[in-house]
Amino acid sequence: MTDLVPVRRALLSVSDKTGLADLGRSLAARGVELLSTGGTAKALREAGLEVKDVSEVTGFPEMMDGRVKTLHPMVHGGLLALRDNEAHVMAMEEHGIGPIDLLVVNLYPFEATVAKGAEYDDCIENIDIGGPAMIRAAAKNHAFVNVVVDTEDYARLLGELDRHDGATCLKFRKKLAQIAYARTGAYDAAVSTWMAKALGDTQPRRRVFAGALAQGLRYGENPHQEAAFYIDGSDRPGVATAKQWQGKELSYNNINDTDAAFELVSEFLPAGGPACAIIKHANPCGVARGETLEQAYRRAFDCDRTSAFGGIVALNMKLDEPTARAISEIFTEVVIAPAADDAAKEIFAAKKNLRLLTTGGLANPAAAALTYRQVSGGFLVQDKDNGRIEASDLKVVTKRAPTEAEIADMLFAWTVAKHVKSNAIVYVKDGATVGVGAGQMSRVDSCRIAARKAQDMAEALGLSEPLTKGCAVASDAFFPFSDGLLAAVEAGATAVIQPGGSIRDEDVIAAADEAGLAMVLTGMRHFRH
């Protein structure tokens, strides 16, 4: 392959006109002939540049509402011809095909059209055909052709031309080709995913996921693992769309935990009052509501102060000065909230290792989405767990019905349990978690661990008894035996919320009645592995 190839002729056809005029001027100043289409040609001419329409090159006008304009041998021959192949050169000469050394194309805004909820026919019209065809052709022939698909690469291209006196090197063209194929791959993935959804096909024969690099990471879960963070282009508020105000770059584990924290706190709408969630290693170690945001934070913190150290704090409303001061009392890795006032930002400015993120809003916990996880030889895909339970959905199965206060705490515990790794047990009293048991192999162990944490915190807080006395408890799945339930009773729980569905439900209900508990069934499970 030839290393340095001069750029003498370029074809520009872009939907996103950002930086187009400056690019055109820079290429023209280097003596590059400009070819273009439709709106791109118009924009270049308005910038005072001389441009040849592709229709002049092909001998055919744009037709069929622009569907047919670049699908022609005069274009694709100029992109695909091997300049060092005698037969190719002779064919070009015989048919008057001029070489195209640079292709600058960005595609019809299909993803943006879908994102704004356009009708089916509008989405179809925004599927680019000629663009991907040219991109793939130019990328295949990267031995001789440069292909640029992202506006952020314009400066890189011009810098390369400056370094090599109007030419580009093979290594540079190879990288452009890789970026180009990734772009068309992502584009096709977006189209196929949208069409499957439009057809109601929940299990299409082939499924493709794509993302754009947001940042390279120092390492993954551990220092010996390489990692990077990619975004999918959706506008769901969260760590992917947040603005970082201060602190060093987020790590792999920071991003994972911050996402878990914000998804959890988004379950609690501001209309119901301030709420705070503290996450450590992707599990909640404290969640609470309060009269004020500061109170919500302190109540969440008092669930497990030890685990909260070096954790992630998520808030459901604007971070204020009192809350920022409270959070600053211990080391915290990340704080994420819909917004933050200037006083709070000023307080955090003194904490150079703390990252502050603002999202502009909460995520919608009821929104439909897909989650996926890699396994050896493939990946698992499922609907996001957006299941929600209201008081009217609860089925009372014990002799004693729960009080209104118990129902409120049961629903709070149930919401938190949805975000705790299975087997999950969550004790809640007065709108705050007072014990969390996560990720144990047996449910009874989760009950006991959560209770023990509550005992430890009672000692640390100087309380006469653990806050689990008189609490509600949630279990993310049914109690297979009564031992887990009895462990919760021993901890002090008076009300239980669980899915039900065990072959031993009658035994568990009988044990609850004997203990004087109120128990309700949801009929919904919240496993989280």
Contact 134, 11 (CB under 8 A): yes
Q: Please write the tens of the pLDDT for every residue from 106-117.
A: 988 888 898 888
* Three-state secondary-structure class, residue 501: coil
pLDDT tens-digit readout, 71-121: 787 788 889 888 888 899 888 888 888 899 999 999 888 888 988 889 999
DSSP state of 225: S
Structure-model confidence comparison of residues 84 and 333, the more confident one: 333
- The pLDDT value given to residue 60: 67
Residue 462 has pLDDT above 60, yes or no: yes
Average pLDDT on 220-245 reads 93
Cα–Cα distance for residue pair 208/475, rounded to 1 Å = 35
The catalytic residue among 42, 72, 140, 351 is 140
Supply the Cα-derived Rg of the chain in whole angstroms.
30
**HSE (side-chain half, CA atoms, 13 Å) at 75:** 27
Q: Is 140 a catalytic residue?
A: yes
Q: Give 424: exposed, middle or buried? Use CB within 10 Å, 0-12, 13-18, 19+.
A: buried
Lowest mean pLDDT among 89-93, 356-360, 487-491: 89-93
- 501-502-507-512 Cα dihedral, nearest 10 degrees: -50
Instruction: Note the pLDDT of residue 66.
Output: 64
- Span 156-171, average pLDDT: 95
Query: Omega of the bond prior to 222 within 30 degrees of 0, cis?
Result: no
Tokens for 188?
A: 């096709």
Strands (E), 320-432: 334-337, 355-358, 370-375, 378-383, 395-396, 425-428
**Separation CA 141–CA 174 (nearest Å):** 10
Range in 77-81, 221-225, 358-362 with the lowest mean pLDDT = 77-81
Which whole number is the average pLDDT over 485-513? Answer: 94
Beta strand 334-337 pairing with 355-358: parallel
Phi-psi region of 420 (alpha: psi -120 to 50; beta: other; left: phi over 0): beta
- Selecting among 17, 42, 197, 281, the annotated active-site residue is 281
Phi, psi (5° rounding) for residue 176? -60, -40
Please report the pLDDT score of residue 210 as a whole number: 87
pTM for this model (two decimals): 0.85
Q: What's the confidence (pLDDT) of residue 261?
A: 97
Taken in order 372, 388, 441, 251, the sign of the CA dihedral is: positive
Percentages helix, strand, coil for the chain (3-state, rounded to 5) are 40, 20, 40
Residue 134 burial (CB count, 10 A): 25
